[in-house]
Amino acid sequence: MPTNFQFKLSDYPKGFKRVIDARFPAFYGIEEISVPLYINRAKKDGPTIVVTSCIHGDEVNGLRVVMRLIDSKIKLEKGTLIAIPILNPYGVYNKSRYLPDRKDLNRHFPGNEKGSFASRLASFIMKNFGSIGDFYIDLHSGGTGRLNIPQIRYDFESQEVIKLLDEIRIPLVVDSQLRDGSFREALNKKGTPCLVFEGGEGLRVDKNVTNEGINLIRSVLYHFAMIKTPPPKPKLKKIFIKRSKWLRAPCSGFQINHFKLGKTVSKNQFIAEIRNAHGEIIKKIYSPDDGIILGMNKNPLIMTGDALYNLGFLNDDLDHKIEEEIFDWDDL
Ligand SMILES: [Zn+2]
């Protein structure tokens, strides 16, 4: 994996604020790939916050969030903000979640410099960027044809992270198990917290989603007293989802959705129908439990077993009447 690029934060003086080029390893051995790297250093010492996105190459909402972050010309009171909007440039070039060898980069951390391409790239990322931050925000979205309601995923049990979660506007927090080989897992193992943001759909940019991404970053900066202006306040108490499950298609056909993303759903509630090409209903889909639709399939042509809805199970004590008005994401 030949590249001479080595990132050292100390090479950039306090007060430095610019997008530079990080040189990622060569693509097909032709030339190194230039990846934007945003560095914003205040004059005063403080924590380093690192924002990453496009570990999955088709999850472009995160790229747009970082563009907006750069445009916002954020003024830091102290510390450093780093944003690396394209961690998997090979996937972005191919408009694909994966690397060119069909491997998922986010299953190969912390990587191995003598391993597969994915493993070497993960090792390159960890070596250059895995130790510079005190706190990481990794931006994701659903895959292509899969839409996720904006949500935070974390499992880093620290009082500081829990306090921070309270200050973030996004009401949904999904307590998700660490994925083996994920960037978040590798950071957590080093004792560094990382919040994962999930929102929107692959290969699509949505303003609601990017607004939430920006608000999340601003919340973290405000929490660490790095910016003066607070982000919009949370409207609601956090809803912690402890368990979620994908509902899968019982047969193939044409899916017509009758439910809205982010709304609460009751057990046995009618949520979708599957029709054949003649227009006849061949199956009605009912929710197996009370919950919130966290994510949904957007491609009506479905095969048996395709994932249709990601249902987050609600705690029994939640007042559904209040919660069902929370999420209004019709225009997602
Ligand atoms: Zn992802």
Q: What angle do CA 86, 61, 212 make, to 5 degrees?
A: 120
Rounded to an integer, what distance in angstroms lies between the CA atom of residue 285 and that of residue 30? 50
Ligand 1 (single-atom ion) residues, CB below 5 Å: 56, 59, 140
Whether pLDDT at 63 is above 50: yes
Whether pLDDT at 330 is above 70: no
Whether pLDDT at 177 is above 80: no
- CA distances (Å), origin 6, targets 10, 99, 236: 12, 22, 43
Q: CA torsion sign, 247 to 251 to 252 to 255?
A: negative
Which secondary-structure segment (H or E) carries 282? strand 281-286
Q: What angle do CA 138, 161, 244 make, to 5 degrees?
A: 65
Q: How confident is the model at residue 83 (pLDDT cuts 50, 70, 90)?
A: very high
**What domains sit in the chain, N to C, each tagged with a CATH number?**
9-223 (3.40.630.10), 243-323 (2.40.50.100)
Confidence (pTM): 0.93
pLDDT of 267-313, one tens digit each? 999 999 999 999 999 999 999 988 999 999 999 999 999 999 999 98
Higher pLDDT, 320 or 228: 228
> Could you tell me which residues are beta bridge partners of residue 301?
254
What's the pLDDT at 331? Answer: 45
Cα of 119 from ligand 1 centre, angstroms = 17
Cα of 174 from ligand 1 centre, angstroms = 15
Q: How confident is the model at residue 214 (pLDDT cuts 50, 70, 90)?
A: very high
Cα of 256 from ligand 1 centre, angstroms = 26
| Helices assigned H by DSSP within the chain | 61-71, 89-93, 117-129, 159-167, 183-189, 207-223, 320-323
What's the pLDDT at 213? Answer: 97
- Rounded to the nearest integer, the mean pLDDT of the chain is 91
Q: How confident is the model at residue 22 (pLDDT cuts 50, 70, 90)?
A: very high
Cα of 140 from ligand 1 centre, angstroms = 4
pLDDT of 141-161, one tens digit each? 999 999 999 999 987 667 788
